[in-house]
Amino acid sequence: MTTTRGHHIDITRGTDHIRVEVNGRLLADSHRPLLLAETGYPVRYYLPPEDVRTDLLTPSKTHTFCPFKGTASYWSLAGGPLDIAWAYPEPRPGVAQIKDHLCFYEVELG
């Protein structure tokens, strides 16, 4: 958990079944997401790389900076949507658990 200037981030280990499917292709299937709750944002599911079909993803040139989490690197679906997932290869110490876990914009609970 980190709290800075009214901004709060809480990370918990979840047991929800998370699936990510794009254009009929299963990209991720996990029962061990990390749930990241951050002030002003919906809860995000960060999935361990072992539960993601990284062979279907291509690293993007996109990078964004969050003062609370660090620099995010993005991934695109080969032959499909751009920048559909992101990860923090070097997260800030307060959120170190999310290191290399991938987060997708759209997930299915189920």
DSSP state of 24: T
Integer Cα distance of 3 and 16 in angstroms:
25
- What number is the average pLDDT over the span 74-88? 92
Q: For residue 105, give its domain range.
A: 2-109
Domain count, the chain: 1
Task: Work out the average pLDDT over 13-19.
Answer: 94
Rounded alpha-carbon distances, angstroms, from residue 26 to 31, 52, 75: 15, 9, 15
Q: Position 107: which residue type?
A: V
57-71 pLDDT tens trace: 999 999 999 999 999
The domain that contains 49 carries what CATH number? Answer: 2.170.150.40
Query: What is the C-alpha end-to-end distance of the chain, expressed in Å?
Result: 27
